[in-house]
């Protein structure tokens, strides 16, 4: 049995938009977890890795204070914590080490429909409702604008209707919530996605090696998402053109076909999605027997 010091603790959002993706990603990296009854901690069965299920806002703090070694959380939360600590004169003791390509959203400024926004100077002497006080303050300072920030812990989008603010600064993905509240996005402060953060405390060789292994597997998992394995037959004469048409592939494997000197089999891993148009172009270039297969795992 590993002592707790040798186990890696990863902080993950308990319930919310990031939860399923975060756990799914770790499971794809080979981790099998048992969910305990209260679900505060999921113990890894096959690796010395445990998941701490917490509110997303607590994740940067837990990692900064070295309660957890790693955390999966939105960049918006990471930046808010980092800038918040900076404003208090201290420093976040975590480093952002990996972008996970899910949980995409942006932290934006929005105003009631019809408000004439012509840049940050339009915010002068206005009231802006937000949960992201530190990021907003930095933005206002950067643009040398004086504005009042009004803290809302949630439901920021109703602030203008309540007469509490002129603008809001909140997360947007599709813009549907804004539109439903008669608001329009006028500026973007931060593009966000889920990221992995790691404590700055030294982990020791064994733990660091395991963290590196998880990150290498994460890399593989993210790469195969879009990747496809493509197989086709091609006339030798068309090989150069066909190679050029294969999207995002490195050196394809070219094999002779039994009893056919004119044609070869071409196999390639394409690191981008393969669309119908690509297949049609390949076919037009002389390719036949085209097959596109999903890639399950990849180790570069």
Alpha helices in 65-204 (DSSP H): 75-87, 133-142, 176-180
Supply the minimum distance, in Å, between the C-beta of residue 273 and Zn ion.
Answer: 32
Beta bridge partners of 199: 94
When the beta carbons of 56 and 187 are compared against Zn ion, the nearer one is 56
Considering only residues 20-59, where is the footprint of Zn ion by CB under 5 A?
56-57
Residue 143 phi/psi, 5° resolution?
-95, 10
| Cα 197 to chain centroid, rounded | 12
| Cα 1 to chain centroid, rounded | 33
- Residue of 8, 12, 13, 128 that binds ligand ATP (CB under 6 A): 13
When the beta carbons of 170 and 242 are compared against ligand ATP, the nearer one is 170
173 binds, among Zn ion, ligand ATP, none (CB under 5 to 8 A by kind): ligand ATP
Supply the minimum distance, in Å, between the C-beta of residue 18 and ligand ATP.
Answer: 5
Q: How many residues bind Zn ion (CB under 5 A)?
A: 2
- Taking CB under 6 A as the binding criterion, the range among 61-69, 73-81, 92-100, 178-186 that sits at the site for ligand ATP is 73-81
User: Cα-atom radius of gyration of the chain, to the nearest Å?
Assistant: 25
Residue 57 sits in the site that holds ligand ATP (CB under 6 A): yes
When the beta carbons of 154 and 202 are compared against Zn ion, the nearer one is 154
Helix, strand, coil share of the chain (percent; to 5): 35, 35, 35
- The CA distances from residue 41 to 38, 68, 261, in Å, are 8, 12, 61
Enumerate binding residues for ligand ATP (CB under 6 A).
Answer: 13, 16-18, 55-57, 74, 76-77, 103, 105, 171, 173, 192
């Amino acid at each position: 049995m590993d002592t707790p010091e040798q186990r890696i603790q990863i902080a993950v959002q308990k319930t919310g938009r990031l939860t399923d993706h975060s756990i799914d990603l770790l499971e794809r990296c080979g981790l099998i977890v048992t969910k305990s009854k209260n679900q505060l901690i999921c113990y890894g069965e096959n690796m010395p890795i445990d998941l701490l299920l917490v509110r997303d806002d607590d994740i940067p703090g837990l990692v900064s204070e070295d309660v957890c070694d790693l955390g999966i959380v939105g960049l918006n939360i990471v930046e808010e914590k980092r800038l918040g600590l900076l404003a208090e004169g201290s420093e976040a003791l975590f480093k952002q080490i990996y972008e996970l390509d899910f949980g995409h959203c942006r932290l934006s400024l929005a105003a009631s429909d019809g408000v004439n926004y012509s840049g940050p100077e339009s915010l002068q002497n206005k009231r802006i409702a937000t949960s992201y006080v530190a990021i907003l303050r930095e933005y206002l300072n950067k643009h040398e604008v004086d504005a009042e920030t009004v803290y809302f812990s949630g439901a920021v989008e109703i602030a203008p209707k309540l007469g509490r603010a002129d603008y809001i600064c909140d997360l947007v993905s599709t813009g549907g919530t804004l539109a439903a509240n008669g608001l329009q996005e006028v500026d973007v402060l931060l593009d966000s996605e889920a990221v992995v953060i790691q404590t700055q405390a030294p982990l020791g060789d064994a733990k660091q090696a395991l963290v590196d292994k998880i990150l290498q597997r994460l890399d593989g998992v993210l790469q195969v998402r879009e990747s496809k394995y493509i197989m086709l037959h091609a006339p030798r004469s068309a090989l150069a053109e066909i190679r050029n048409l294969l999207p995002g592939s490195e050196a394809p494997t070219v094999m002779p076909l039994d009893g056919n000197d004119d044609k070869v089999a071409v196999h390639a891993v394409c690191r981008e999605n393969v669309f119908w148009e690509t297949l049609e172009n390949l076919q037009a270039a002389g390719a036949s027997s085209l097959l596109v297969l999903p890639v399950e795992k990849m180790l570069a």
